[in-house]
Structure 1
């Protein structure tokens, strides 16, 4: 997979892709992340990438021409499955979307900034708009890093144990159960005996019960959706 990220602040994306799982994925040639500075594609001697919005109002708007020219430059080199725009009013990014994107080959992620991009960028170039939550941050860079991380870790071979991703929170519609490691007892707090029993069937049953309880208590919306889906599957 190749992910091209377009931004006016490329330095913000240096850290997330230089460590841990994302770094190893690139070293193993399983994923490639290329960050593109939009500024060299700006207009005039000042390389302008933003301007005042028509109709007045506070905040600058990212211009269409620099973005269009850079996107077309990238598309001339390869075919892209999606051009994603990170924006607070986009579709809520979730595990299901991450799973779908992990099956793609080439992605462009456009990071919004200021008051966002000229609407014509969204109309002419963007194929998917994503949000990481109902809040506003200074730009789309951190959100783009979140999406890239969630997607890349699902690519086969990225994680040392591929089953790890399959048991993540949200993969089956539930929150993950509690996890424990050594020592078996610490200051009077013991690891549940079932996890030490070696009885795999009982362990899996305990984990399911814990997932259901945790989801019901912390995310009743997810729990209700899981129950409804489960009942629908039983009918079929």
Structure 2
């Protein structure tokens, strides 16, 4: 995969792209990470990329010319058209399913904005996606782009040491991930659930499924409304609800 980022602050990405999972993925040749300063495509002597909005109002708006020309410099007539992503608080909420969708692409271009916003022609005639991390506003699109890129790259084959890690992540299954434990089996009087020490894979699988449902029910019940639950999951969910309503009920 090739990922290009249009930004006024390329230095912000230097450490992120070189470290940890992203850095290792690039070393392996799984992903190519690149930043482009779209100020280099400004068409005036002062290298400005923004201007006052027509009709008045506060703030400055990013001009279309530098953005269009920076993106066009990255396109190849022989390659498929990339997904061109605008990081924007007005965009679609980014989630794990969107990360999985983008991980199937061969080329992504992220556009990081600043100031008051973008010239509307960028939205209408250039980008393929507008994505947001949530219902809040940041000073620029760099941090959302970093988060989205990290989320996408870790899904690429060969990036994680254990391919099962991304499959069982929270949200990949539709539910929050089950609790995890490691050695020692007892620490300060707190013990690991016995079922995880049993070596009985079927019982461990059932325990994990139930814990995923329990955690999702307690922390993100809205996710359950979006999933098509199996008969087994519905039975577990009803049992969990009964246990939560009656704390003295025997929980298994």
Class of the TM-score when normalised by the shorter of the 2 chains: over 0.9
Match of 1:4 in 2: 4
Structure 2 CA distance for aligned equivalents of residues 231 and 27 of structure 1: 41
Gaps of 5+ in 1: none
Structure 1 CA distance for aligned equivalents of residues 212 and 185 of structure 2: 21
Asked whether the equivalents of residues 195 and 203 of structure 1 are also in contact (C-alpha less than 8 Å), the reply is yes
Match of 1:150 in 2: 151
* CA radius of gyration, larger in: 2
Asked whether the equivalents of residues 82 and 127 of structure 1 are also in contact (C-alpha less than 8 Å), the reply is yes
Could you state the TM-score of these two structures normalised by the residue count of structure 1?
A: 0.94
Structure 2 CA distance for aligned equivalents of residues 173 and 205 of structure 1: 16
Match of 1:161 in 2: 162
Structure 2 CA distance for aligned equivalents of residues 225 and 83 of structure 1: 27
SS in 2 for 1:75: coil
Q: Which moved more, 1:124-133 or 1:41-50?
A: 41-50
Structure 1 CA distance for aligned equivalents of residues 230 and 200 of structure 2: 28
Superposition pairs of residues 41-190 of structure 1, within 5 angstroms? 41-76=41-76, 78-190=79-191
Asked whether the equivalents of residues 80 and 105 of structure 1 are also in contact (C-alpha less than 8 Å), the reply is no
Root mean square deviation, CA, Å: 1.5
Structure 2 CA distance for aligned equivalents of residues 224 and 200 of structure 1: 29
CA shift digits 1:47-89 (9 cap, x unpaired)? 1111111111111111000111111111146443311101001
Match of 2:39 in 1: 39
Aligned residues: 231
Structure 2 CA distance for aligned equivalents of residues 119 and 9 of structure 1: 22
Structure 2 CA distance for aligned equivalents of residues 114 and 98 of structure 1: 27
Match of 1:27 in 2: 27
Structure 2 CA distance for aligned equivalents of residues 5 and 81 of structure 1: 12
| Cα displacement (A) at 1:231 | 5.5
Could you state the TM-score of these two structures normalised by the residue count of structure 2?
A: 0.88
Report 1 or 2 for greater relative contact order, CA contacts < 8 Å, sequence distance ≥ 6. 1
Gaps of 5+ in 2: 234-252
